[in-house]
Amino acid sequence: MPEGPLVRTEDLRVYFPVRKLFRTVGYVRAVDGVSLSIGRNETVALVGESGSGKTTFGRALLGLVRPTSGRILFDGTDIASMSEKELKRVRRRMGIVFQDPYASLNPTFTVYRIVEEPLVVNRIGTKEERREMVMRALEEVKLNPPEFFASKYPHMLSGGQRQRVAIARAIITRPEFVVADEPVSMLDASIRVEILLLFREIQRRHGVSFLYITHDLATAKYFSDRIAIMYAGKVVEEGPTRAVLSEPLHPYTQALIEAIPDPDPMNRFKMREVVPGQPPSLLNPPSGCRFHPRCPYFMKGKCDVQEPPLYDLGGGRKVACYLLEDRAAGS
Ligand code: SF4
């Protein structure tokens, strides 16, 4: 197996211009200096409230959004500076599963055509070979018998079955990296577990790396090896899932964990919105630490003046908070 992480970003920034009367009046800093790596066969959960930049980050990794600056290394090659033609070749090695299984499938296509499409677009296999691959993919996502489901249209399926079709489509080109963007948040609790188990099974069988984007720490606990907590375009805490959830260090992570209503992640999959205060505007983020207007430990003259660095505490743990300054110095 090749060395190093499969995906790595270095100081990645994605800004969107805001225009008024044909003039740029500012920038929405959706992703603002994120350095994160995803190992081979690893699942990293990117957790945060809506509007924190998670989806934009995921789309940038797939080359669907062009970064403003920084690097995105996929298997050692920077895709941020690639042409569309080069990107298309690399995208064959990537897949995406969206949140909404209703909106993400073309309602006029049969399941067969939906799942076959990436093969056609990428000119993979003969008609016969493609048929075999589609049937195998449907079997793999447990849509059995595959011939039965292949002829159905999306509206004839349940939400969970639709999401399985979306997963079959995402894995049919045998991607090494999949971005799963809130893939279970619109499904019933019982189906969520099944879909997460399916991701695990696919990972075990094919060695896929996942970026699992979610606002829900409970499912992140269940599915990920490492967690990165994103707040207002930045990663504020990162580390092995078990360590972060048993000893959250950033005040924002602590607030999110208090927001899980039940300690058993198998029982509860919905997080209450109880972090006090509102997420900041990405157009005009607060000075210094972006969490300072909501932070119970806010230190005036420090937290609101300069942004805290992402302190490396050892053991894979990193935290962007001045409270960890001494611990980082001693590590
Ligand atoms: Fe709170 Fe200051 Fe830490 Fe930010 S740097 S999380 S405001 S204590």
Q: What residues contact residue 5 under an 8 Å CB cut-off, 6+ apart?
A: 37, 38, 39, 40, 42, 73
Q: Which residues pair with 179 in a beta bridge?
A: 96, 211
Whether the CB-CB separation of 289 and 295 falls below 8 Å is answered with yes
3-class secondary-structure state, position 123? coil
CATH hierarchy code of domain 7-93+175-330: 3.40.50.300
What's the pLDDT score for residue 103? 82
- pLDDT tens for 6-31 read 999 999 999 999 998 889 999 999 99
Check pocket membership of 303 for ligand 1, CB cut-off 6 A.
Answer: yes
- Within 10 angstroms of residue 41's Cβ, the number of other Cβ atoms is 16
Closest Cα partner for 209 from 187, 231, 226, 195? Answer: 226
Q: Is 97 in the pocket of ligand 1 (CB under 6 A)?
A: no
Residue entry with tokens 């500076």: 81
How many residues are there in the chain? 331
- What spatial distance separates the first Cα and last Cα of the chain, rounded to whole Å? 31
- One-letter amino acid at 158 equals S
Contact 191, 184 (CB under 8 A): yes
Q: Give the count of beta carbons closer than 10 Å to the beta carbon of residue 3.
A: 6
- The confidence score (pLDDT) of residue 269 equals 39
Q: Is 299 in the pocket of ligand 1 (CB under 6 A)?
A: yes
Residues lower than pLDDT 70 in the chain: 1-2, 259-274, 331
- CB of residue 90 inside a 6 A radius of ligand 1: no
Domain ranges of the chain: 7-93+175-330, 102-174
- pLDDT 10s digits, 232-243: 999 999 999 999
Cβ pair 185, 193 in contact under 8 A: no
Strands 311-314 and 317-319, by their bridges, are antiparallel
The pLDDT of residue 267 is: 47
Nearest CA to ligand 1 atom 3: 321
Pocket test for ligand 1, best of 323, 324, 326 (most atoms within 8 A of CB): 323
pTM of the entire predicted model: 0.91
Backbone angles phi, psi at 130, to 5 degrees: -65, -40
pLDDT confidence of residue 188: 86
Is the CB of residue 134 less than 8 Å from the CB of residue 118? no
Taking the centre of ligand 1 as the mean of its atom positions, its distance from the CA of residue 291, in whole angstroms, is 6
- Total Cβ atoms within 10 A of residue 331: 12
Query: How many beta carbons lie within 10 A of that of residue 100, not counting itself?
Result: 16
Distance of alpha carbon 38 from alpha carbon 291, whole angstroms: 25
Q: Using the atom order of ligand 1, give the atom closest to the CA of residue 250.
A: 6
Question: What pLDDT is stored for residue 271 in this prediction?
Answer: 46
Residue 279, CB-side half-sphere exposure with 13 Å CA sphere: 16
User: Is the CB of residue 295 below 6 angstroms from any atom belonging to ligand 1?
Assistant: yes
> Model confidence over 64-115: pLDDT tens digits?
999 999 999 999 999 998 998 899 889 889 999 988 877 889 999 999 999 9
Structure tokens at 88: 């298309």
Q: Is 73 in the pocket of ligand 1 (CB under 6 A)?
A: no
